[in-house]
Amino acid sequence: MNIYHNLDEVPYDANTVITLGTFDGVHLGHRFLIDRLKKCALERNARNLLITFEPHPQIVIKKEGRPDISLLTTICERVELFRQSGIENVLIIEFTHDFSKLESSEFIQLLLEKIGMKKLLVGYDHSFGKNRSGNFETLCELSKGKGFELEKVEPFQVNEQIISSSRIRKALHESRLDEANDFLGYKYFIEGKVQFGRGVGSQIGFPTANIKPDNIHKLLPKFGVYLVSSIIEDQEYFGLANIGVRPTLTNDTKPQLEVYFLDFDGDLYDERLHITFLQYLRSEVKFADSDHLVRQIKSDVKQAKAIVKNMKNISN
């Protein structure tokens, strides 16, 4: 897969089929559009090109009073998911305040002149450019005047629900992990480096890996305990992840992601881990004391091992 970081890097080819968007999560709806892109390019013996933006536009042009955007995927994670989807060419455009002021007609002209564009595919609700002027109706007029094909790809649905990044974020914020994973088409994950923590887990007999996500905007699911897995030294290990502020043991206000691995005994400090979220187990609770917490964790471990055993039996 070819990865470009500005328009000038992309070789000109008038026979190019393009789609564009943020594609946060690269979920089933996005992949439906990507599959259509690949098919259109194949039918025309054309080059396919996907254009995405970094940072997320809502980070750059955040509206006053709106909460910060939570990302389903960092740009590196997004690119890897693009690679897995079979895209040949990806252009990552730096999204800046100046870029946000570009009229949609000006951006289309840049694509035609610098990259070449035979056809443009857009999602059913996609718009771009200054004041989101690049909606489908505007693009229809531009396509007639500038001689490129235009296609609107209809929404992809699961259980009669239109899949969107915002719907997936909402599901994760409400601990509906199974629904989020169904819409993503893969298990939600967080990648990050293991850092030194306060050691409170070790003090009660359950040492944890404290993980700092690669991007400060990466979405942490709802506070609670989750069954997770990670590949360590080429082997899959299961664990209990706690997301929250550890109210029984600390007075923290900033949420943390920490993982207690069930059958791993080793030093993970400074290692990068890919934490895959498999199942939501329970909410985070403030217990009366550490003894009550330990009893609950032992119960969580027992439940987690039973789930893992059942998963392995099913796979066999």
Residues 172-207 have pLDDT tens digits of 999 999 999 999 999 999 999 999 877 777 888 899
Residue 126 pLDDT greater than 80, yes or no: no
CA 281 – CA 240 distance, rounded (Å): 9
pLDDT tens-digit map of 274-283: 999 999 999 9
Annotated domain spans of the chain: 2-162, 188-315
pLDDT tens-digit map of 35-54: 999 999 999 999 999 999 99
pLDDT confidence of residue 253: 80
Q: What is the DSSP-derived secondary structure letter of residue 212?
A: E
Residue with more model confidence, 135 or 285? 285
CB 66 within 8 A of CB 26: no
Do 2-162 and 188-315 fold alike per CATH?
A: no
Going by pLDDT thresholds of 50, 70 and 90, the confidence category of residue 133 is low
pLDDT, mean of residues 146-165:
92
pLDDT, mean of residues 214-242:
96
Nearest one of 257, 235, 259, 255 to 245, comparing CA atoms:
255
CA 179 – CA 94 distance, rounded (Å): 32
CATH number for the segment(s) 188-315:
2.40.30.30
CA 57 – CA 60 distance, rounded (Å): 5
> pTM of the prediction?
0.93
Residue 304 bridge partners (DSSP): none
CB 245 within 8 A of CB 286: no
CA 27 – CA 183 distance, rounded (Å): 6
Tell me the three state secondary structure of residue 200. helix
Backbone angles phi, psi at 69, to 5 degrees: -70, 140
Cis peptide before 55 (omega within 30 of 0): yes
CA 122 – CA 31 distance, rounded (Å): 13
Fold of 2-162: Rossmann fold (3.40.50)
